[in-house]
Every structure is written in structure tokens, then in C-alpha cells.
Amino acid sequence: MPIFALEKCLSLRQSMKKLFSLILGFAFCFLSYAAGEESRGGNAPGELRSGSTPDCILPQVAQWTPANGGSFVLSNGAVYRLQAKGVSDDQVKAFKAYIESSSLALREAGKEAASAVKTQAGKEAASAVKIQVGPKLLKDTREGAYKMTVDRKGVSIQANGVAGAFYAVQSLMQLQAADEEGRIAACRIEDAPRYAYRGLMFDVSRHFHSKDFILKQIDLMAQLKMNRLHLHLTDNEGWRIALDCAPEMVKKGAFGDSWWFNHVLNGTPMTLVEEPEGYEPGTVYDDGKVYGGYYTKDQIREIIAYAADRHIEVIPEIEIPGHNIALLRVHPEFFCENRKYNIDNVVCPGREEVFAFFENVLKEVMELFPSRYVHIGGDEANKSNWGVCPLCQKRIADEHLKDVYELQSYCIRRVEKMVNACGKQIIGWDEILQGGLSDNATVMSWRGTEGGVQAIRMNHDVIMTPSNYYYLDFGQDAPYKEPLAFNTYLPLETVYSYEPEEDIIAACGADYDPSIMKHLLGLQGNLWGECIVSDSHFEYMLYPRAFAIAENAWSPKGSKNYPAFREKTLAFIERVRKQGYHTFDLASEVGHRPAAATPIVNLALGAKTTWRNGGKEETADMLVDGYLGDWVLWKSPQWKECVKRELVLDIDLGESKDLHYIGAEFVHFPARRCQLPNDLQVLISEDGINYTPVPVVIPELSKEDRHFSILTLGATVNAKARYVRLEGNKEKKKTWGYIGEIIIN
């Protein structure tokens, strides 16, 4: 018979009374025990002891105040007591199992060893950590809210639901770990999440990751108080879920003739191959010739249950209608008819059998995943073949649609009906706005924030995951020292700086009505897997940037403090490394491109500059502002994108000057097909009419190295001139790239 039985059935008042009398009645007994055995926690009355304070907690708590009363030493094996009311036995059981197996490793009072707690015969001892869960214990009704008080006698936690108590335990573990001796300074915490949706997306299609690896990431998500895991289960490179309705999709669609990454490097298409003999589902298969893997339904159930025990909901994504090479290789009958364009990843929405296939898939997926949402993709569907396919054209005519964009919308609406019929809701990438948003859709805004802002203004729910802040496949430090990334530079500080409401408020202008913010469900970081070839690489890209997303999604508006966050993050990195996670080494961060921090000596500084490329003519002052571009390319004001046409840059120095060298910075980033110009020449002139050309040698670069690099291309001139011109891509116009600062000296 346990000394402290779970008191689920006691009324709140009864239990409070009982708790109070226990504390009074047995404080002496407990404290003398605690003083005698340091490992049990507690310190003598009046003794002033320092310890960790809640500003070490990540994500930052909403409110905390220091309190009198010294500190409390919390050590593993300390006793906890849980009083829970109005929650299911299963939830309580899972919570207790978590506490007992977590790094905090508390022991339920009286459960394991009555002798561990000195009691008077037949009476109960006080517990070091008291946790109360019950409806209406807190005024704050947000899911996950909790209160915690620490004094020299112990820790007291209250929450309306188990999620709140679970998050309090996360905070407690961090407080305990922040002090070598587990001392926690007396304090009061009131904490609750800013957003209900605090998510990460894992792309397990491009490169597969084992079930056990996903469970490991769920553990760290829980520490960060994140609560949504979006699994991108299908894409061009592999179908990762074994379904009874489509067994062929994993037998023939989950393995390739090597890593997708090798094909990027070699520029060759991937061939799908059949499941190799002896493959063990849920693991990554890679014998050097065949690469791939998938999860069985039981393994998916295990992931869902493991996540649920940690208050994380798993949301599946099945991509429709694009990103479907794997599907179309297995089911070529789903292609458009009379395909004119070489597009191999979009299904034909003119075919009924395509909808029948997805209906079966979605039904089975919805039975498997208890989540309210199913993500149905909807992004980057190239519609060119739809414009020429007789079946698509017939669909457009029959359904009185205007164009292929409305056909996309028709497709998403049909899928939404299937999902709604099962009592669930769709989430789609922001392209689902094209051709009209379906009725109940939630939009995931990834191409910046514009799609999300548009959807919110239409009273649709939105999850913000803008790629320029939250795409964790971008590099996080100086590209020369980083593994190959799918885009350039997105350091921790930029991720942290994202403030989701700003764009919405700005877009609404005078029409802004604060009540629309209820549609902003929350935030999500996306880890796309094209370049992520191993588990350690995956974790490296994820951490610590996921910490920043967790704090953005949890901590109150207006509480950002990057230096403080960075300090906490450095400590948290140490902690999670000890837990076996492979993180980016923030302590050795190079940061923004050092050469871009100080102005260069440049005769072109402030010169009048005109840029022509791809039919546009405009000024390009940023190319002569005296600063080299940073590592950031995309949406950067320091680099100019050169489309695949001739580019001409005219610079008027204002007067004739002695010139020795003329050049410019260019980007080479083969992983994104971003190249140096095919040809380049410098021209100089005294009158702006007669130009003397000086050819520029374009270096031959290694085809093996796909990393981002910046090169200066130019020529020695040693002449006098007022007008300078750079011309590129005149011979062959297929190159796409970026040009940065013009350098003239």
C-alpha cells in the first residue's frame, strides 16, 4: 500500500486541506531527513542558499519573481506526489512514467521504497515536489499553463491539465540541471504558451530517418515545450508509410538506387528500385547501392503514442498534387495525357482514379493519426501540362473553372471534402490560396509571410513558417565551414528575430482588428531533407535553431532578448550534447561575413549605376555602396539576382579617373544551380559612346564541390576612364546567378 496514494478522487478543497496538514504535520520529519541526506533535497530554515533561477529556462517563462526563503536542493530520487482530478487514468499513468524515467527521475511518494521517506508509523510524509492537476486550478485557461512555487521546503506545481504539469516538470528539470548541486532559488513562476501550435516539420522523404531517431527528437521537442510534429511522409524521393490500401508504394516507391543527394551532385535522375530483401522497416537502408526506408503502421502508432505521452501531436503530410515522382513512378497511369512539358512530379486532376487513390490513402492515414489535421501539401505544382492535357481541359470545362489555377483549387477542395467527411481539417502550403482558398483550410505560410497574412485577413487559420526565418535546411554559419545546405545563411539570431504579428499588423494598416490574431495558430520550423544525409547532420541543422523557434512560439510578445537567449542556448547546448544530440557549435560561430562588416576602398562608391537584365532596367545603388555582400542571398538587398539573360551594368564615375582594376563579386552555388556568368567582359570609355573591351577570365571550378562560395571576377585595366560597363552572359544566356559589390580601384 503506497504511503501517498494518487488522490484523483479527492475534491480540490479536501486535497488542499490534506496537503496543508501534511506539510504542517510532517515538515519537521521531512526537513530533518533532508538535512541529514543531501541527496534528498531541502535545506535548514533560515539558511540562505543560492541556486538556479527561472531565467535559465528555455523557452523563457512568461513571468517569474524571486521569493524569500533560501533555496531548495532537488536531486534525483526526490519524492513527488501527484493529485490529479478530471483527467484520464491513461494521461496520469503516462505522466508518472515520464517523471520516473526522465532526467529528473523522481520517485512517486511511498511507491517504491517506503523506507526512503522517514515517516511516523502509519502517517504520511511531505513530498519534495507536489503536483496538483485539476480543472479551474488556474485562471489562465491556455492549454499548457502552469504555476510553480519553489521554497526551501520543496516545489509546488498547479495546472489545469496534465500538459501544464508536464511543462512545469520541463522547467523544473532545467532549473535542477542549471546548478551543479541541483539548488533552485526560491521563486514563483506563472507560465503559459503564447501560441497553441509550436511545431517542427521533419522531411523524412528526401532522406529517411529511423523510427528510433524520430523518438529521440520527440524527447528534445518535449524539453522545448513544442507540441506539434509534422511528418512530411511523401515526396519525389520516397514514399515512407506502408498502407494497406497502397502496399506497392513502399515496395516500389521507398527505395532508390542511391541517396538523392548523390543525384544532385551528379545531375542524374534517381531510379526507384524494389524493397531490398531483408530490409527491416523503420530503419534506414543503405548498402551503398540501394538507399531508402519506410515506417509500418505499427511503427507510426508507436511514434504517435510516444509523442502523445509528451504532449506532442503528430500531423501527417501526404503531398497532393505535386512533389509526386515516387507515386508517378509506381503509378504512371496518374500522369496527364499528351504531356508536352518534361514535368515528372504532378498528377493529373482530370483523372478520377487519382482522386480514388488519394481518397483511400487519406482515409487510412486519418484512421491511423488521431490528429485533427492532415497536411495535404499543395505546394509547387507545376501546372504547364494541365494546360495542354485533354483530361484536365475537360475537367476545367465540366466544372466551369477559369484556368489551371482554379483547377488546383478544385483539386484541393475535393481533397478537403474527403478530409472533412472524416471529421478532420486540412492544412496546406500557401499555394492553396491560388485559384481560391477552400472553405476550412488552414494555411501554412512558407514563401515569406504574405500568404499567411492574406489567409488571416480572409479569417482562415494560419501557421507561420516563413522560409527566410524558419527553414532549417539553410546554412547557419559561414558557408566555407558548414556542411552543404539547400540555401545560404540563416543564423540563430535571424531565426530568433522573427516576430509573427508585425507583418500582419502592417498589412492591415488602418483596418487592423486585433481579434484576427486568433487565427494565427502558431509557428513551425521546417527541416527539409534534400541535403541532410545523416542523423547527425539532421540534428546539427535543427539545434539550436529549433530552440529559437520554441522560444518565439512560447514566450510572451515583447520579451525577446537575444544576448540572454544566446547565453541560455550555450548552456542548453552543453546539456543536450550530454544527452547525445549533435548540435551546431554556437560557441565557435563565425557569424556574418567578416569582410562585409567594413567598407572597402572603391572608386565606384556612390557612382550612378544602371542595371539591365531580363528586360528590366533599374538603378543598382547597392552594388556601389562600398560594402561587400553578406552570406545571405535570398531577399538580400546586397545581391542582385541575374536571370538567365544577358546582363549589362553601366557605371558613371562622374569624372575621368585612373583605373587599375575593375571587377565584381559573383556567387557560385551549384547545389542550387547558381553559377558564375558564362562569359564576362569589362568595358571602359571616356565619352560613354566608344568603349574598349577587356575580357575577364572565368575560372573553371570543380564540379564536385557544390558549396556556396563568393568569387571576385574582374580584369586589370591600367587606363583612364569615366564610364565603366560590365557585360555578362552575351554568348550563352543560360546561367542564373547573383552579382554583388562592384570593385573599381
Q: Which is nearer to ligand ACM, 33 or 429 (CB)?
A: 429
Least distance in angstroms from the C-beta of 347 to ligand ACM: 16
Q: Which is nearer to Zn ion, 348 or 633 (CB)?
A: 348
Residue that is written with C-alpha cell 522517514 in the block: 118
Least distance in angstroms from the C-beta of 206 to ligand ACM: 11
Give 491's contacts (C-beta < 8 A, 6+ positions apart). 476, 477, 589, 591, 592
Q: Cα–Cα distance between 20 and 158 in angstroms, integer?
A: 14
Taking CB within 5 to 8 Å according to partner kind, which of ligand ACM, Zn ion, none is near residue 429?
A: ligand ACM
Nearest residue to 153 (alpha-carbon basis) of 333, 296, 22: 22
Taking CB within 5 to 8 Å according to partner kind, which of Zn ion, ligand ACM, none is near residue 392?
A: Zn ion
Taking CB within 5 to 8 Å according to partner kind, which of ligand ACM, Zn ion, none is near residue 427?
A: none
Structural contact between residues 322 and 234, judged by C-beta atoms closer than 8 angstroms: no
Q: Which is nearer to Zn ion, 320 or 389 (CB)?
A: 389
**Interface with ligand ACM (CB under 6 A):** 379-380, 429, 446
Least distance in angstroms from the C-beta of 435 to ligand ACM: 17
Of the candidates 100, 143, 380, 589, the residue annotated as catalytic is 380
Taking CB within 5 to 8 Å according to partner kind, which of Zn ion, ligand ACM, none is near residue 154?
A: none
Is the CA virtual torsion 686, 687, 688, 690 positive or negative? negative
Nearest residue to 117 (alpha-carbon basis) of 270, 214, 242, 2: 2
The answer to whether 416 is a known catalytic residue is no
Structural contact between residues 361 and 404, judged by C-beta atoms closer than 8 angstroms: no
Q: Which is nearer to Zn ion, 368 or 391 (CB)?
A: 391
Least distance in angstroms from the C-beta of 687 to Zn ion: 58
Q: Which is nearer to ligand ACM, 302 or 379 (CB)?
A: 379
Least distance in angstroms from the C-beta of 460 to ligand ACM: 17
Least distance in angstroms from the C-beta of 378 to Zn ion: 17
Q: Which is nearer to ligand ACM, 379 or 535 (CB)?
A: 379
Determine phi and psi for 196, rounding to 5 degrees.
Answer: -75, -25
Taking CB within 5 to 8 Å according to partner kind, which of ligand ACM, Zn ion, none is near residue 350?
A: Zn ion
Q: Which is nearer to ligand ACM, 322 or 737 (CB)?
A: 322
Q: Are strands 616-619 and 487-489 parallel, antiparallel or unpaired?
A: unpaired
Of the candidates 209, 230, 232, 323, the residue annotated as catalytic is 323
Give, in order, the Cα–Cα distances in Å from 555 to each of 57, 70, 190, 215.
11, 27, 12, 25
Least distance in angstroms from the C-beta of 33 to ligand ACM: 57
Q: Which is nearer to ligand ACM, 126 or 326 (CB)?
A: 326
Least distance in angstroms from the C-beta of 409 to ligand ACM: 17
Taking CB within 5 to 8 Å according to partner kind, which of Zn ion, ligand ACM, none is near residue 26?
A: none
The answer to whether 319 is a known catalytic residue is no
Determine phi and psi for 294, rounding to 5 degrees.
Answer: -160, 165
Q: Cα–Cα distance between 365 and 368 in angstroms, integer?
A: 5
For residue 649, what is its C-alpha cell? 551594368
Least distance in angstroms from the C-beta of 322 to Zn ion: 13
Structural contact between residues 108 and 80, judged by C-beta atoms closer than 8 angstroms: yes
For residue 226, what is its C-alpha cell? 513544442
Cβ–Cβ contacts within 10 Å for residue 104, how many? 24
The answer to whether 323 is a known catalytic residue is yes
User: Any bridge partners for residue 709, and if so which?
Assistant: 668
Structural contact between residues 473 and 527, judged by C-beta atoms closer than 8 angstroms: yes
Q: Cα–Cα distance between 472 and 474 in angstroms, integer?
A: 5
Q: Cα–Cα distance between 141 and 159 in angstroms, integer?
A: 9
The string of DSSP letters for 453-464 reads HHHHHTT--EEE
Q: Are strands 129-133 and 154-159 parallel, antiparallel or unpaired?
A: parallel
> Whats the size of the chain, residue-wise?
745
For residue 49, what is its C-alpha cell? 542558499
Taking CB within 5 to 8 Å according to partner kind, which of Zn ion, ligand ACM, none is near residue 585?
A: none
Give 1's contacts (C-beta < 8 A, 6+ positions apart). none
Residue closest to ligand ACM (Cβ): 379
Q: Which is nearer to Zn ion, 335 or 627 (CB)?
A: 335
Of the candidates 151, 179, 191, 235, the residue annotated as catalytic is 235
**In terms of C-beta density within 10 A (0-12 exposed, 13-18 middle, 19 or more buried), how is residue 5 classed?**
middle
Give, in order, the Cα–Cα distances in Å from 559 to each of 59, 551, 578, 590, 620.
11, 10, 29, 26, 38
**Interface with Zn ion (CB under 5 A):** 336, 348, 350, 389, 391-392
Active-site positions read 235, 323, 380
